[in-house]
């Protein structure tokens, strides 16, 4: 297989077209979480696009960029993929991340290390309906309703406050 060197192009997010066949949906709440992560850490993951500026991967990041009023976002054009390969990649990219598992022990150690460094890991943290990894603006936690992060006993009560039920 030929090794490709990707070229990052800065593009206005409003010119990028969502792929109508994208089966993965982002709630307004999740887009806000992505926006908060971009605000805090920068736009660290380029949007993947096809030759017609159709989004292949990064729909949520583009919506967050628009919400933040960003003029440009980093993109990588996947010109080497056929239309069928792009369709397959959309599904594979979304599914492969879901197939990964968390190492609860390492997760607990990393969260505690951040807490020890006085890093605010409570950004928009919310509990999940069942114990599962939750990603909230850079804070990753395995949580259950009305419980602290599994395996982590934060030293300050302000970390991972109980979730409130809010409808967006």
Q: What is the pLDDT of residues 126-138, one digit of tens each?
A: 433 334 444 433 4
Q: What was the pLDDT predicted at 162?
A: 40
Last residue of a domain, one of 99, 115, 150: 99
| pLDDT tens-place string over residues 75-129 | 999 999 999 999 999 999 888 878 888 888 998 899 889 889 988 876 543 433 3
Q: Is residue 2 part of a domain?
A: no
**Can you give the residue range of the structural domain that contains 28?**
8-99
Are 70 and 35 in a shared domain? yes
Are 94 and 18 in a shared domain? yes
- Model confidence at 58, pLDDT cuts 50, 70, 90, reads very high
Are 119 and 43 in a shared domain? no
Whole-angstrom distance, CA of residue 14 vs CA of residue 123: 27
Q: How many domains does the chain have?
A: 2
DSSP string, the chain: -PPP---EEEE-GGGPBPPTT------HHHHHHHHHHHHHH---SPEEE-TTSBEEE-HHHHHHHHHHT-S-EEEEE-TTS-HHHHHHHHHHHHHHHHH----HHHHHHHHHHHHHTT----TT----SSSEEEEETTEEEEE-TTSPPTT---SSTTSSPPP-----
Are 44 and 108 in a shared domain? no
CATH of the domain at 67: 3.90.1530.10
Are 23 and 57 in a shared domain? yes
Q: What was the pLDDT predicted at 122?
A: 66
Has residue 163 got a pLDDT over 70? no
Distances (CA, A) of 11 to 35, 52, 71, 74: 17, 13, 8, 6
Are 84 and 112 in a shared domain? no
Do residues 147 and 162 touch, judged by C-beta distance below 8 A? no
**Alpha-carbon 25 to chain mean position:** 12
């Amino acid at each position: 297989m030929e090794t490709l060197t990707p070229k990052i192009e800065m593009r206005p997010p409003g010119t990028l077209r969502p792929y109508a066949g994208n089966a993965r949906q982002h709630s307004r709440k999740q887009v806000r979480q992505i926006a908060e992560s971009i605000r805090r850490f920068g736009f660290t993951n380029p949007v993947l696009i096809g030759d017609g500026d159709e989004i292949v991967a990064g729909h949520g990041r583009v919506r967050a960029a628009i919400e933040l009023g960003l003029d440009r976002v980093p993109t990588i054009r996947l010109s080497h993929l056929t239309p069928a390969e792009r369709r397959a990649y959309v599904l594979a990219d979304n599914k492969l991340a879901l197939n990964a598992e968390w190492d609860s022990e390492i997760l607990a150690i990393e969260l505690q290390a951040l807490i020890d460094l006085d890093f605010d890991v409570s950004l928009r943290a919310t509990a999940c309906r069942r114990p599962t990894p939750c990603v909230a603006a850079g804070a990753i936690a395995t949580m259950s309703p009305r419980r602290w992060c599994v395996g982590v006993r934060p030293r300050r009560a302000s970390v991972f406050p109980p979730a409130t039920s809010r409808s967006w």
